[in-house]
Structure 1
Amino acid sequence: MIPADFYRGRRLRSSLTMRELVRENAVTANDLIMPYFVAETDDESFMKEISSMPGQYQLSLKQLEKKVGEAVANGLKSCILFGIPAEKDEMGTQAYADAGIVQKAIRLLKDRWPELIVCADTCLCEYTSHGHCGIVQHDYVQNDPTLNLLAKTAVAQARAGADVVAPSDMMDGRVAAIRDALDEAGFINVPIMSYAVKYASAFYGPFREAAESAPQFGDRKTYQMDPPNAREAMREAVADLEEGADILMVKPGLPYLDIVRQVRDNFDTPVAVYQVSGEYSMIKAAALNGWIDEQAVIMESLVAFKRAGADLILTYFTEDVLKTLK
């Protein structure tokens, strides 16, 4: 005899319309931030596909404008810019030059689409000849001397019109240095989206090609977090909030959903997550081999971020997802 009181969960799964009616999490255009790599070049037609990230490109300013225009037409609300300068040096001077490539790109995008939220990655690794995120002395990345350069970079980005600055370097005290510099320069309303919990992850591999930022010696394990650590993530988040961070980011994404959930449960500030290059490339590779349904896996992975508690998602799939949502 069938008991009359067992749970009938299938009642709420009987049709697509019913499932949508009771759906707990959804991904919208408001959640997504598209990363773009903009290269300093006189060739307006420059559009170089990143071999390890099919469908992603290094773009000239002209091609960036074209790509962003197409994405805006499909509902793009936010993007984040990474720069590839024509010349690099030990101090990463093009990161904080008013005529630096990211500053030029910010001005271009804000002039064309004033309502588009333009975030700027605030770091030195794309601009230094050694590929590290700070000043190097005796083969060691110096923390405190780097803070002033990061602050100068944030101010240059804000002066160009950036809506959000996003320090990704993981130097201790950088959020406080940036907040002080922004306020002193009159940019009190420019928020800081801190890469508060950024792990020294193997999932960043393809990004090194995309941003041409591979370290010329050693690695970044002395300043990015050790992957086995979770409690440390809370200490990093607390420190950044106390220093003035407005948004906390966890990076990478899917391998660190437990950390996203911990940050969500412990803090009421907006939480961002970065679906990094390695995550993108694995999904792309599996899809190109016919092993998975690319669109279904993309959406499932993004919903996982929302379910874990993320408010914002930085993902290279943004342009594709916008087309799907539209």
Structure 2
Amino acid sequence: MTGILEIEAQSPRVCVAGAGAIGLTLAARLQMAGYRVSLVARGESLSFVHENGIQLIDQEGEHRVMVNVGAASAYATADVLFLCPKSHDMLAMATSIRHLISPDTIVVPVINGIPWWYFDGIDRCWQGQSIRTVDPEGKLKRIIPSRSIVGITTMITVERVSPGKATTFNPLQMTIGELDDKPSERLDLLARILERSGIATTKAVRIRDAIWTKVVRNLISNPVTAITGATLRQNFGNAYLADISRQMLREVIPVIASYGSRLEVDPETILDTGRKLGDVKTSMLQDLEKGNQLELASICDAVIELATLHGIEMPVTQAISNLAHFKSTGDGNAFAA
């Protein structure tokens, strides 16, 4: 097995799988920092980036970055593998990139919502359980060994405005952590890679607290904005919409506590931070406007599933989720039994 110091000395082979908003941002920033980056893309994204590179606009200005881009089959194993699909596309991506994962590969799934690995790496009564709504048949656990995974959450509000082009005007921030919440050399390596790439990185003491904090931010804004078309400023600044988000926040806090976790910041700070992000469209609203599938399974359904397992009711969250599901189907074909 290759040692962490040896990997760093040789310059890690970094692969970013997925050319969405986050994937483009990560690939561009990593390449700008001098890392050997391969971007897994397909269709028009692949052809655009191959011909034009990645066009990224962020707080530092406008960048045009040429990267090595190709289909998953074009690459061999990676030292660090960032998986950046929509959560509902994770299984298809995992199937296509499984050959990139060696026993030494650090796998970093950069996804929204409750991750399929949530119950792995912890010595508690629910150790090893699966979350049906995000990994119904346990296939993700079989394809991607949990021992290879480093947990991550992002505070990056970025929009892919066209194939190969992404824009963001807020700071780039990430939190990382081992699934067992222990320090490790590979965690330190990953932090150094991200920091050198201009991404402010925190090593979590308890990664699930960070996961829940991000999940809550998404839960109380994404489905509401998909239903209403509101920006984050409107969602948290309008009295009516802010009240709905506040009720959803109250409902999810007992769920978090029932799994031995807690929010990293107080609830009012979450509401205030969302408002200060300005006239930013959530990823779910962006997907709705583009006619894409919404990430409701990992952001809404998984939280409700976890609540149900502990007998906790979430009526407002359930109602908002139902409305968002209706908006997602667009034609009301999901008939009640």
On whether the aligned pair clears a TM of 0.5, the verdict is no
TM-score by length of 1: 0.30
Computing the radius of gyration from Cα coordinates, the structure with the larger value is 1
| TM-score, scaled relative to structure 2 | 0.29
